[in-house]
Amino acid sequence: MIKAAKFLSVQALCIAGSLLPATHAARAQPVLRVCIDSSSPTAARDQAVADRVARQAGLTLAVTPFNGGSGDDDGVSAKEFRAMLTSACELVMGYPVDTAGPALPPGLLATKPYAQTGFVLVTAPGETARSLSDLPNGTEIAVTYETAPNLYFARHGNVLADVHMSDAETMQTIASGKVKAAMLWRPTVDEYEAHPGAVNLGVFPLDEPHARYDVVALYLPRSARQAESFNATKISVDASAPAAGLPALFTDTQAKAGYAKFLGNCAQCHGTHLEGRSGPALKGPNWANAKADYTVGEVFTVVSQQMPATGPGSLEHADYEQIMAYLLQQNGYPAGDKPLQFDQATMSKVKLLYHGS
The 10s digit of each residue's pLDDT in 172-221 is 999 999 999 999 999 898 888 877 778 888 888 888 889 989 999 999 99
Quote the CA–CA distance of 12 and 96 in Å, as a whole number: 5
Task: Kindly state the DSSP code that residue 355 receives in the 8-state scheme.
Answer: -
289, 354 in Cβ contact below 8 A?
yes
Band (pLDDT 50/70/90 cuts) for residue 28 is low
**Which candidate, 288, 258, 287, 283, places its Cα nearest to that of 273?**
283
- The answer to whether the beta carbons of residues 16 and 41 sit under 8 Å apart is yes
CA 151/CA 61 separation, integer angstroms: 40
Which ranges of 108-251 would DSSP assign to H, the alpha helix? 167-175, 186-193, 224-232
Per-residue pLDDT at 160: 96
Q: What is the pLDDT of residue 62?
A: 94
> In terms of pLDDT, which residue wins out, 2 or 307?
307
* Helix, strand, coil content of the chain in percent (nearest 5): 35, 20, 50
Q: Are strands 212-219 and 91-98 parallel, antiparallel or unpaired?
A: antiparallel
Mean pLDDT of the chain: 84
pLDDT above 50 (res 2): no
Q: In sequence order, which ranges of 233-275 are alpha helices (DSSP H)?
A: 252-265, 267-270
Which of 233, 221, 234 lies closest to 91, judged by CA? 221
CA diameter of the chain: 69
Distances (CA, A) of 231 to 39, 47, 165, 218, 333: 25, 16, 37, 12, 25
Paired with 117 in beta bridges are 213
Compare 129 and 143 and report the one with higher pLDDT.
143
User: Domains in the chain, please, with CATH?
Assistant: 4-115+215-232 (3.40.190.10), 117-205 (3.40.190.10), 252-347 (1.10.760.10)
pLDDT digits (tens, 9 = 90+) for 29-48: 689 999 999 888 888 888 88
> E strands within the chain?
31-37, 60-66, 91-98, 109-110, 115-123, 139-144, 159-164, 181-185, 202-205, 212-219
pLDDT band at 236 (very low <50, low <70, confident <90, very high): low
Give the pLDDT mean for 108-136: 91
Cα–Cα distance measured from residue 274 to residue 326, given in angstroms and rounded to the nearest whole number: 10
How far is it, in rounded angstroms, from Cα 95 to Cα 9?
Answer: 10
Give the mean model confidence (pLDDT) for residues 131-150.
94
pTM over 0.85? The answer is: no
What are the residues whose beta carbons fall under 8 Å from the beta carbon of 298, sequence distance 6 or more? 352
> Which pLDDT belongs to residue 200?
83
Give residue 99's pLDDT: 86
